[in-house]
Chains A and B, each alone.
Chain A
Amino acid sequence: MKRIVRIFACAAAFLLLAGCASGEKKKAEAELYAMDTVMDLTIYATNAEEALSAAQEEIYRLDGLLSYTRSDSQVSAINRGAGGAVEVPVEVMDLVSTAVAISQRTDGAFDITVAPLVQAWGFYTGEYTVPDKEALDEILPLVGSGLIRLDPGAKTVELEKTGMSIDLGGIAKGYASDVLVEMMKDRGVSSALLALAGNISAVGTKPGGDPWRVAVRDPRDGSAYVGILSVSDLTVATSGGYERYFESGGKRYHHIIDPKTGVPADSDLTSVTVISQSGTTADALSTGLFVMGMDKALALWRASKDFEAVFVTQDDRVVVTEGIADRFEFTGQSGGYAYEIASR
């Protein structure tokens, strides 16, 4: 009898010890649709379910504030009030202010005032048209972050000209990831992967202590990767013209409009992946660097300390900045890519 008791005691001790190794973390995951995209959240924590539902609520709250398409959003209020000042929550004004700063940093390559151009090309509705030069010349004077006036005292955002509009779609997912990462930290979550479409935040490490492995898609082949990043406490964001585009008269037009020319960015890049501790920076810069093209993008990287990048070029090169190269595993050889490391 005592032997049997001992065996049970041993079995109990065994299960307890095996459980200790994991810290009794539970896994909670959700797929949700918000901000005009699909998001996958995976959280490992003792309080995983609670953290997950809080994260989901937060995403819906931000979508409600920042959506371009929802008429009840703060962004829609700013756009409806174009030509005058509109009072908004501080959070919204701060994000617009960040977007203006990144616009200046990228010499206008990233610009939230590009919305009327995107509209003219039909990317909001899917009713694609190639606008003629006259149409573009009418819209271009409405584009430029220099036309946004912010009044921190009155908490207002003003689009100087009627007809202007802003779209935070190129920065909102990154901002949301920063907010979520902060939430996870506050809750003591040390292991989570937050994939807001192609905007992926690695919180801490995998439950076993290894870094998260985030692949960079091959722009020419959706089933292939050009490489795999091993990251923790970083956000990885990719922009490229290979997913959203239309064809007309035998020509392909993608959705990343150059705010200066009004036409899809004629870039020597097929995709740009930015890796940064700031999701907001990663998201906005991935678009900005794509529009800038390889040379200007590399020059900006050399002048910066807050991000690294993976560039895929039209001429089939994968160029990785040296600060992240040690965490990048090149897998693009089967896709015909050459591999290069850019030095400072």
Chain B
Amino acid sequence: MKSPAGSALRPTRWDVVLAAAILLAAAVTGYLLYGNTGKSESLTAVVTRNGEEIARIPLDELEEPMELSVEGEYTNIIRAERGRVCIIDSTCPGRDCVHQGWISRPGQHLICLPNHVTVTIEGSSSSGVDAVSG
């Protein structure tokens, strides 16, 4: 025999929903309070050489064009402007990388095979500075 009190305290479907909602709300609050503050969805060009990331260029924040020289077996000159990036010059044979032109959207790549260099656009970057040295 079940007692009336036991019946009243037995979890109902709504209690399960409520518990799930609490867990979700707690997770969201925890994230908002302590999580990845400063993240945004801005465009970032990520440069790698030999599979290792060597530079990140925040394309959305570029006020003036910039050039980055990447040296390996050959030299790639990467040019970034607000919202887009290209390999503007290269000493590699064939210069296929230069012919790839500008890229501007997350997920796009530029590749210089002879120099083992890639440029990939990512759709997020962090901003904000915690301290300044100098």
Residue among B26, B31, B58, B64 having the largest count of chain A Cβ atoms under 10 Å = B26
**A341/B54 in contact, CB under 8 A:** yes
Among the stretches A73-81, A111-119, A234-242, A292-300, the one at the interface with B is A234-242
**B64/A236 in contact, CB under 8 A:** no
Contact with A along B112-128 (1 / 0, CB 8 A): 00000000000001101
**How many residue pairs between the two chains, A and B, have CB atoms under 8 Å in the bound complex?**
140
Cβ distance A173 to chain B, nearest Cβ, rounded Å = 12
A210 on interface, CB distance cutoff 8 Å: yes
**B70/A341 in contact, CB under 8 A:** yes
**A343/B66 in contact, CB under 8 A:** no
**B131/A240 in contact, CB under 8 A:** no
Residues of B close to A198: CB separation below 8 A:
132-134
**B66/A216 in contact, CB under 8 A:** no
Cβ distance B126 to chain A, nearest Cβ, rounded Å = 7
**B36/A271 in contact, CB under 8 A:** no
**A208/B131 in contact, CB under 8 A:** no
Residues of A close to B68: CB separation below 8 A:
330, 339-341
B1 on interface, CB distance cutoff 8 Å: no
How many of chain B's residues touch chain A, expressed as a range?
A: 35 or more
Residue among B30, B57, B70, B133 having the largest count of chain A Cβ atoms under 10 Å = B133
Contact of A217 (CB < 8 Å), options: B34, B130, B133 = B133
**B30/A215 in contact, CB under 8 A:** no
A20 on interface, CB distance cutoff 8 Å: yes
A333 on interface, CB distance cutoff 8 Å: yes
Residues of A close to B131: CB separation below 8 A:
40, 193, 195, 200, 212-215
**B134/A271 in contact, CB under 8 A:** yes
- Complex alpha-carbon distance, A328 and B68, angstroms: 13
**A214/B58 in contact, CB under 8 A:** no
- Contact A238:B71 (CB < 8 A) given known A21-B30, A333-B62: no
**B33/A326 in contact, CB under 8 A:** no
A207 on interface, CB distance cutoff 8 Å: yes
Residue among B22, B27, B37 having the largest count of chain A Cβ atoms under 10 Å = B22
Name B's A-contacting residues (CB within 8 A).
8-9, 15, 18-19, 22-23, 25-27, 29-31, 33-38, 52-58, 61-72, 80, 125-126, 128-134
Chain A to chain B: the 10 pairs with minimum beta-carbon distance, closest first: A21-B30, A217-B134, A17-B26, A333-B66, A238-B134, A326-B53, A238-B133, A18-B29, A334-B63, A215-B129
Name A's B-contacting residues (CB within 8 A).
2, 6, 10, 13-14, 17-18, 20-22, 25, 40, 193, 195, 198-200, 202, 206-210, 212-217, 219, 225, 228-230, 236-238, 240, 271, 273, 322, 325-326, 328-334, 336, 338-341, 343
Beyond known contacts A18-B29, A331-B58, A339-B69: 5 more, CB 8 A cutoff: A20-B26, A200-B131, A216-B133, A217-B132, A217-B133
| 25 cross-chain CB contacts under 8 A | A2-B9, A17-B30, A18-B29, A20-B30, A22-B30, A193-B130, A195-B131, A200-B133, A207-B34, A210-B126, A212-B131, A213-B38, A213-B128, A213-B129, A213-B130, A214-B131, A219-B134, A237-B133, A238-B133, A325-B55, A328-B55, A329-B58, A336-B64, A338-B67, A338-B69
